[in-house]
Amino acid sequence: MAFRSNGPIMLALPAFRGVTRRLVIAGIVAYAVVVVLDVVGQSESTGTMLFILTPSLALHRMPWQFLTYGFLAQRLISTALGLLTVWFFGAALEDERGGRWLGEYALVSAIGGGVLASALTFAHVPGMGRDSSVYGLWPLSLALLLAFARMNPEAEMRLYFVLKVKAKHLVAIFLLFYMASAIFSRDSFGAVTALCVALCGFLYLRLAPRRGLQYAASEGWFGLRNSYYRAKRRRAAKKFTVYMKQQGKDVSLDPSGRYVDPDGNPRDPNDKRWMN
């Protein structure tokens, strides 16, 4: 667990709002559900098995697992540290890029990483069978840490309030840890999933527009719509010009299809007397 440090160690918490709050609350709710199901003795049968990421199930009839696995909790201490990581780095990213960007980045990283890791199980990698399973907050936490380190590589962090380390070095430590776990662990699917989530987050940071895919898609749609309307206006202007010539009158229109005063005086676009 790492905390941003701007001098002496302080216990001040970041703002708890927006998308960051929704992510943390989702993790808390998921942990409560797991605890309740464990108490009633159904956590391994009808409860969490429906929502943890199991490639053989997710790729066929339970695709929602690609999203839900990233919010299900494990042990209490691990859950608490994961939620704090999401809170601290999520709040910093939301302040820097906005809530819409943070939500999109979290979804793309978690879902994309889950799909990629599940696809890798078909490569017959030892310790990564299609019946392997994974869940927890740490893949998403790693993606948030990666984004923060890319935007603030020289920012100094406090690892567990003790070790001071720069953000770029901290994310390298975590990546090396998961790479070692993927190679030497008996069940490497969890570590590979975390690395895939980080990879999808990195590709998003490199390839996606600064303000996010949703904003770019919206801008592209409105651009196409406006181009269509401008083309319609130009066609109507040409028809109007032909009609006025048939009536023995000459009119001038600009390339956008707007009327041009024959005397050369510019028209006030707010003056509706000359519009029809």
Q: Structure tokens of 135? A: 């869940």
Which of 28-32, 115-119, 181-185 holds the top average pLDDT? Answer: 115-119
Q: Is 200 exposed, middle or buried (0-12, 13-18, 19+ CB in 10 A)?
A: buried
Whether the CB-CB separation of 93 and 144 falls below 8 Å is answered with yes
Residue 98 has pLDDT above 70, yes or no: yes
Q: What is the pTM of this model?
A: 0.73
The pLDDT of 126-143, averaged and rounded, is: 84
Of 99, 201, 188, the residue nearest 140 (C-alpha): 201
- Token pair of 203, please? 């590709």
pLDDT (tens digit per residue) in 105-122:
999 999 999 999 998 888
What percent of the chain is modeled with pLDDT above 70? 74
Strand partners, 159: 2, 163
**Res. 144: pLDDT tops 90:** yes
203, pLDDT greater than 90: yes
Q: Which helix (H) or strand (E) holds 166?
A: strand 163-166
Is residue 41 predicted with pLDDT exceeding 70? no
Alpha helix (H) ranges present in 98-212? Answer: 99-120, 138-151, 167-184, 189-207
> Can you give the pLDDT at residue 32?
84
Residue-range domain boundaries for the chain: 2-208, 216-274
CATH of span 2-208: 1.20.1540.10
Q: Does residue 268 register a pLDDT over 60? A: no
The token duo for 133 is 């399973």
Contact between residue 134 and residue 52 where contact means Cβ atoms under 8 Å apart? yes
